[in-house]
Amino acid sequence: MRDAYHDDLDAVSATLVSMAAMVDNAIVRASKALLESDRALAEEVIAADAAIDTVQHELDNRTVDLMARQAPVASDLRVLVTSLRMSADLERMGDLAAHIAKAARMRFPACAIPVELQMTILEMSRVASDLVNKTALVIRDRDIEGALQVDRDDDQMDRLHRQLFITLLDPAWPHGIETAIDVTLIGRYYERFADHAVSVARRLYYSVTGEFAAPKN
């Protein structure tokens, strides 16, 4: 039988899972706005970021309130401290999705991504969405094997990111400096998004085991 305190801990975890779903929604729609040059959708993603911030704020207040009321020690304290860190990662992922939406808006009605890079960016957006979805399941199921898998899956993002630079640095690159700057920054946003997903998964691993997952390299 669970007591009210452990119900509260479960609710913290459930809120992290729903934050991850909001962040997934943001990255999927920001990517669509970017690749389809959809200004209205970009505006929606930018406006929706405030809701993620609000959820984080309320979650952190609840988490600190639990610390104050319950004076947890050992593993319960570890879960709460880790929750604060995971919510910060997820909030930042929302910011990065909003940055991608802002890049889409800035170049409207043109597309910030030239046609020969659209497939790479589409793949980056799919990897990003996949990582955050897997991270949500890792949190929900306190799945330490899944956490290690998220870490390994991030290699795909690194590969796509390198591919982006190979295209940019081709001597035949015809799109000029402004587009190169856009692509560089957008690539960086996807890469950082993935890094934060990995960070959330690694924190979950620590939350469950009290040990740090070994670095993948």
Pick one of 1, 4, 40, 68: the residue that binds its own copies (CB under 8 A).
68
Residue 69's CB is within 10 A of a number of other CB atoms, namely 10
4 or 177: CB nearest its own copies: 177
The contact mask relative to its own copies for 121-160 (x = CB under 8 A, - = no) is: ----------------------------------------
Taking CB under 8 A as the rule, does residue 177 contact its own copies? yes
Please tell me whether the peptide bond between 72 and the residue prior to it is cis, using omega within 30 degrees of 0: no
- What is the nearest approach in angstroms of its own copies to the Cβ of residue 108? 18
Which one of 30-38, 43-51, 72-80, 119-127 is the stretch in contact with its own copies (CB under 8 A)? 72-80
Contact, 42 vs 108, CB < 8 A?
yes
Cα Rg of the chain (Å, integer): 19
Q: Which of 6, 155, 178, 210 forms a contact with its own copies (CB under 8 A)? A: 178
Locate tokens 């999927």: which residue?
A: 28
Spatial separation of the C-alpha atoms in residues 107 and 113, rounded to whole Å: 9
Cα–Cα dist 45/33, whole Å: 9
Nearer to its own copies, 41 or 213 (CB): 213
Closest CA to 208 of 95, 88, 76, 118: 76
Q: By C-alpha distance, which of 127, 113, 212, 92 is closest to 164?
A: 113
Closer to its own copies at the Cβ: 21 or 106? 106
Q: Is 208 in the site for its own copies (CB under 8 A)?
A: no
Chain contacts with its own copies (rule: CB under 8 A) = 64, 67-68, 71-74, 77-78, 81, 84-85, 88, 165, 168-169, 173, 177-178, 180-181, 184-185, 188
